[in-house]
Amino acid sequence: MQLLGNLDCEARWSGIALPEAVRRRISLYASLFAACAPEGVHDLWVPAPVDAARLLAAPGWTPPRVRVSGAQPSIDLAWADPAAKDANDRSRTLAIGQAIGVALPGACVVDSLPALDAQLAGLGDRAWVVKARWTAAGRDRARGTGALGAGELRTRIGRLLERLGPLVLEPWLDRAADFGVCGEITAAGVTVAEPHHLRCDPRGGFLGIELGVRDRAIAEALQATARAAATRLADAGYRGPFATDAFVYRDPTGRTHLHPLCELNARFTFGWIARALGDRLGVRRLGFDPPPHGATVLIAPGDDRVTAWCA
């Protein structure tokens, strides 16, 4: 089976050339995409060469044969449909969130520094973040508090606008827990899976996934929102895998609230990989930080700090 591990899809849609070191890292991570295909040995086409010796086999798991993208044959399964640029636009996700009533107050699209200044005036002294419409792993974004003013941050955001076009502005919130939901859109309709926890570091960096959400009220709200958002995406013509991200945040009084739709990715995600590995190996966790004792290592740690494990 021919697989396309194009984890550089957002960069391609933005017209950005990723550094070689980043392309090599995401190509290593892409090896896990083989879990989403039927069992067997598959050819996986990735953006950059990888050290095959770091892709470790385990009972029930055989790493794919990795090939560098180029004149690859017809692809049977792709991480992201190369034609799905519009479906993955963050401004579309915001519009969907507004349409189904779950967008954050103050979230909007800004296309210039004066437009950003005007919107920040309405946020007062709150923290905020601006994000590129196509990006992954926390790249191409900037954070601030209150008015933008002059200085290095204004210059940086100006360059983001020049390079990437309109940005999505959101209030920055004190996140207490992160979640995701995987699903699929077909001609028959929308299906959604059980939600999962997203493990993150204090700065929001992605560390891994733990399957299942114990709080049934949160799980049901996540699934309902994922279904409603995907239905809007289906109405726009998208067919294929998707995943939503969500989080619980604390307000200034310490009370917690669920924001059920912060991302809508019209492609495969690591949530899909975690679920596939769970079905295949009976594991509940997929991690990208140093492997704990007893974990099954799938990508051997290297000097680039790339690793992956399951347990």
Classify residue 90: in a domain, yes or no. Answer: no
- What pLDDT does residue 71 have? 65
Question: Do residues 260 and 199 share a domain?
Answer: yes
93 assigned to some structural domain: no
Report the alpha-carbon distance of residue 54 to residue 188 in Å, rounded: 40
Q: Among 29-43, 50-64, 134-148, 232-246, whose mean pLDDT is lowest? A: 134-148
Kindly state whether residues 18 and 73 are assigned to the same domain.
yes
Report pLDDT digits (tens) over 142-191: 999 999 989 999 999 999 999 999 999 999 999 999 999 999 999 999 99
Output the domain CATH number for residue 123.
3.30.1490
The first and second tokens of residue 78, run together, are 């792709």
Residue 112 falls inside a structural domain: yes
| 100 found inside a domain | no
Residues 293 and 226 grouped into a single domain: no
Cα separation of 204 and 175, whole Å? Answer: 8
Same domain, 179 and 261: yes
- Domain boundary (136, 171, 206) is at 171
Q: How many domains does the chain have?
A: 3
> Do 120 and 145 fall within a single domain?
yes
Residue span of the structural domain in which 242 resides:
173-267
Is 20 a domain residue?
yes
Single out the residue in 138, 171, 204 at which a domain terminates.
Answer: 171
Q: pTM, whole model, 2 decimals?
A: 0.95
Domain containing 177 — which CATH number? 3.30.470.20
What average pLDDT does the segment 47-72 reach?
92
- Classify the C-alpha dihedral 296-299-301-305 as positive or negative: negative
Asked if the structure places residue 117 within a domain, the reply is yes
Token pair listed for 15: 């017209």
183 and 166 in one domain? no
